[in-house]
Amino acid sequence: MNSYTILAKYYDKFTRNDCDYVRWSQYLCEVAARHGVREIVDLACGTGKMSELLLRRGYDVVGVDASSEMLNIARQKCKAAFICQDMRKLSLAHRADMAVCVNDGVNYLKPTELAPFFARAADGLKVGAPFVFDVSSPFKLTNKVGDNVFYWDDELQTLLWSNAFRGDRVEMDLVLFERRGDVYCRSDERHVQYVHEAAAVVAALAQAGFDVVEQSDSYGGKLTEQALRLAFYAIKR
């Protein structure tokens, strides 16, 4: 199965305590305020966790994701405009004031896809518009996520998440057992997340027409060797 097919309906449940979306959204809104932003495109928006927070802060939000299953959940959550689209082929009706891509969306792109994706993002933005996104760091993918197994288990579902580190990427095999009466039904899906070094991200941004304003750990924290989430704040030239 493609990634985020079977996982979609449990994504919010399984990731409930994973990330500090409220603090991240404060960082994004501070950037937005600095640039007089009204409309934000939320790339790889998934189930709309960040879209919903930005919408509540008064922004017009367009959410883009390749998984129709994730977008179905997002549409139940809030009234942002949601588009099912591969962000590598991003095509918007008009240029937006700002783009964001939070929680690993960019890790799903191969290293060779970074600069072309950033170029599409630049195309979708007004001159001077901010683009803020993150990647799970090489440190995290190597030391925390790669070659590790995670699980979720309760009365209705069991999820096994086994990872294999392959040097430039982590292959993630998800096995979900859903209880239906007296039986458990099994579904499988695979995710591949790619390792992106900060220097490669910055080079690809420059190539695509962005200037990097700030790099931080998890939206505003001081960067260290062991940072888990590298956040980039760039501006379209």
The contact set with ligand SAM (CB under 6 A) reads 4, 44-47, 49-50, 65-67, 70, 86-88, 102-105, 108
Cβ at position 45, least distance to ligand SAM in Å: 5
Of 22 and 183, CB closest to ligand SAM? 22
SS3 per residue for 148-210: CEEEEECCCEEEEEEEEECCCEEEEEEEEEEEECCEEEEEEEEEEEECCCHHHHHHHHHHHCE
Of 189 and 237, CB closest to ligand SAM? 189
Cα within 13 Å of Cα(91), Cβ side: 3
Cβ at position 2, least distance to ligand SAM in Å: 8
Of 6 and 155, CB closest to ligand SAM? 6
Of 76 and 182, CB closest to ligand SAM? 76
Cβ at position 153, least distance to ligand SAM in Å: 21
The vertex-39 CA angle with 66 and 211, nearest 5°, equals 80
User: Residue type at 25?
Assistant: S
Cβ at position 184, least distance to ligand SAM in Å: 25
Cβ at position 61, least distance to ligand SAM in Å: 12
Of 102 and 129, CB closest to ligand SAM? 102
d(CA 82, CA 65): 8
d(CA 229, CA 196): 11
Cβ at position 105, least distance to ligand SAM in Å: 4
Of 49 and 236, CB closest to ligand SAM? 49
Cβ at position 191, least distance to ligand SAM in Å: 8
In the complex, residue closest to ligand SAM by CB: 46
Residue 177 · residue 158 · CB < 8 Å? yes
- Of 52, 93, 99, 73, whose CA–CA distance to 9 is shortest? 73
Of 108 and 131, CB closest to ligand SAM? 108
Torsion region of 182: left, alpha or beta (phi above 0 gives left; psi -120 to 50 gives alpha):
alpha
Phi/psi at 123 (5° precision) = -60, -30
SS3 per residue for 89-116: HCCCCCCECEEEECCCHHHHCCHHHHHH
